[in-house]
Amino acid sequence: MLWSVSMRRWWPGKPQGLSSIATSPWAAAPSRLCHGPPPPCSALHPPRYYGCGLVIPECLSSCWILDLGSGSGRDCYLLSQLVGEQGHVTGIDMTEGQVRHRSGAPPHPPSNPPTLFPSSCQVEVAKKHIAYHMDKFGYRKPNVEFVHGYMEKLGDAGLADESYDIVISNCVINLAPDKSAVLREAFRVLKPGGEMYFSDIYASQRLSETVRRHRVLWGECLAGALYWRDLYSIAEEVGFSPPCLVTASPITIGNKELEGIVGDCRFVSATFRLFKVPGGTQAGPGQVIYKGRIMGHERELVFDANFTFKEGEVVDVDAEMAAILQSSRFAEEFLIRAGGANAAALQGCCRKGVKEKIRDPFQLLERLTAPGPACCPGGTCGPPGCC
């Protein structure tokens, strides 16, 4: 079963008067990677939702999750049901309000704070629905909390080292002037083997000063978009495994004046997953068999654009994927053995017989939107969007 999301292009922190711009990053998202049952949105309080898609990784039972820039809390509530009563979800947002800081002190703003953002109080809005959702889900005590603070300074908001299994974020990191600080903090609060799973907007090149300072483009979440290649270098600097590209969806601007300002730069909305692989994890290629036990993904687990694991099938994985599976919460969901991988048979997209991983979200988008079959002619199915 497939599901997709489209949404309106407005959010509460957006500078006034910008709602008429016709950018459409989330329309018509090709969601071939979003297999599985739809998330249980029907139980949620009528949401206000401003993200780039849905940031719902698999295998969430009892996990502790942190949502960076949680806004009105929709993703947090959705996840609070999926982690169950033994799990926990923390949403952090910078918007001001009468919110007590965890440690009692007000959080410090980042050294280079964005100047255009919210005066409305997202954290307060999110908190209002805690009782409603706990009642709906039948929980005896809330498993969600919302804290006020900056994602670049999670320590100031009282978030400890190695305290979360997963960090998510939905269309927020583009708003941070210092992306490295955000990833560093996410890495710090993740437990060994933890995952950062997030959607955001990426640019096809580094943005000019004119674009980066443009008020309307900033409000449209475009001016702060990271050049996609820089995500790979920042992730490496911080200590994450190389980002796994999950999916990509198109962004069109639809406004001649803004299109003139951005020139030949293109934008894409993409989801990546980054893992905190502990040092000392065996890093050779291997073979894995998915046990088919993850709820909603019993027949196959579409891990990213390069790896789909069908229940019971032997899959050759490269060293990167072997290390991720061995060290993360997915370890128990696979039989894993070192060695035996045939480099030529590794999953990935095939071009002239050579399989290479798709890392570029623009390239993935092209493949997802290209007419024609998603399977390699005469061979087994590759990842969605392959060939």
Ligand X SMILES: C[S@@+](CC[C@H](N)C(=O)[O-])C[C@H]1O[C@@H](n2cnc3c(N)ncnc32)[C@H](O)[C@@H]1O
Binding interface with ligand X (CB under 6 A): 11, 13, 49-51, 69-71, 74-75, 92-95, 117-118, 122, 150-152, 170-172, 175-176
Shortest gap between Cβ of 149 and ligand X (angstroms)?
7
The position carrying tokens 């929709």 is: 74
**By C-beta, is 69 or 193 nearer to ligand X?**
69
Shortest gap between Cβ of 162 and ligand X (angstroms)?
21
**By C-beta, is 58 or 96 nearer to ligand X?**
96
State the Cα angle at 277 between 273 and 278, rounded to 5°.
160
Shortest gap between Cβ of 91 and ligand X (angstroms)?
8
Shortest gap between Cβ of 97 and ligand X (angstroms)?
11
Residues 6+ apart with CB under 8 A from 277: 193, 240, 241, 323, 324, 327, 328
188: which 2 tokens?
């710090």
Shortest gap between Cβ of 123 and ligand X (angstroms)?
9
The position carrying tokens 């994985």 is: 317
Shortest gap between Cβ of 183 and ligand X (angstroms)?
13
Shortest gap between Cβ of 80 and ligand X (angstroms)?
15
**By C-beta, is 14 or 359 nearer to ligand X?**
14
- Residue 295 CA: distances (Å) to CA of 5, 168, 247, 299: 21, 20, 21, 10
**By C-beta, is 74 or 367 nearer to ligand X?**
74
**By C-beta, is 57 or 118 nearer to ligand X?**
118
**By C-beta, is 109 or 292 nearer to ligand X?**
109
Q: Which residue is nearest to ligand X (CB)?
A: 51
Shortest gap between Cβ of 238 and ligand X (angstroms)?
17
**By C-beta, is 79 or 288 nearer to ligand X?**
79
Residues 6+ apart with CB under 8 A from 52: 25, 26, 170, 171, 199, 200, 201, 221, 269, 271
Strand partners of residue 88: 64
The position carrying tokens 């670049």 is: 152
**By C-beta, is 26 or 232 nearer to ligand X?**
26
**Secondary structure of 308-368 in HEC code, one letter for each residue:** EEEECCEEEECHHHHHHHHHCCCHHHEEEEECCCCHHHCCCEEECCEEECCCCHHHHHHHH
Torsion sign over Cα 35, 36, 39, 42: positive
Shortest gap between Cβ of 76 and ligand X (angstroms)?
9
The beta strands (E) that lie in the chain are given as 64-68, 88-93, 144-148, 164-170, 190-203, 226-227, 244-250, 267-275, 286-290, 300-302, 308-310, 314-317, 334-338, 349-351, 354-356
| Residue 351 burial (10 A CB sphere; 0-12, 13-18, 19+) | exposed
What is the DSSP pairing of strand 314-317 with strand 334-338?
Answer: unpaired
369: which 2 tokens?
């939107």
**By C-beta, is 75 or 360 nearer to ligand X?**
75
The CA distance from 313 to 176, in Å, is 42
**By C-beta, is 146 or 307 nearer to ligand X?**
146
Shortest gap between Cβ of 99 and ligand X (angstroms)?
12
The CA distance from 366 to 373, in Å, is 13
The CA distance from 305 to 32, in Å, is 10
